[in-house]
Structure 1
Amino acid sequence: MTSHVPPPPAIRYLAVTLDCPDPAELARFYSEALNLPVAHSTDGFVLLGHEGAPGLGFYRLDDYQPPTWPDSSVPKQAHLDLGVDDLDAAEARLVALGAVKANTQPLPDRRRILLDPAGHPFCITL
């Protein structure tokens, strides 16, 4: 007797969504940093991305507390890794858009850690 195993359901990656106090402001930062258009927007949520491609979302959380990385009293939970060709130029552009360079930089010649306008750590890496 053979058992029939149904095929796996179609599952596709849609987006990563970051909690934040102001979705429109954080979406503006990442839209300019990554050259992504706004695909969908409501008062409490903004999704960046191109039609049919995975996106990056921002969800309003009224009691949002930014991560305290590298201190773990408020964990970072997740972070984005962005590839760049020139660390110094990318860092300068992202800081001009509203990011802040983190005080801790474990591998500054290969990777820089920045904080987005809502305090989420993210990396730019060669």
Structure 2
Amino acid sequence: MPQLNGNTCEIDELPDGVTVTIRATTNSRHTQKITVTRNDEVLCAFAGSGERNAMTGQSTIVSNARAKLRATFEYQTDINAEWQKSRQLKAGGPYTIGNYNILVIVAENGDDSDYNDSIIELSWNTSR
């Protein structure tokens, strides 16, 4: 299970050397931002707003079992406002279905309590 700490999530469950698809969506009128780093290097960042699982971006990385990934969740209430830390995260997975794997992390910014203001999904395939 990923380690949740405030508005960050450390991920170390990924097998070494697999291609991981990272997909980010939002369900908020406020701009949401998710930054994924490894050893303080930004691998990808997604920002946007919208309802009904609006896609804010997708990227792929190659996992490294010796280095944890960190996902940081932030939001803005007004254009050009300071980024604020998302208030709480929840995670599920990784779940394995055959050779498909998925890990989901969701963030709540505090304007309601539905835990879908920003969502990141990490998925990968493993050999049988």
TM range (shorter): 0.3 to 0.5
Q: How does the TM-score come out when normalised to structure 2?
A: 0.32
Q: How does the TM-score come out when normalised to structure 1?
A: 0.33
- Point out the structure with the larger strand share: 2
More contact order relative to length (CA 8 Å, sep ≥ 6): 2
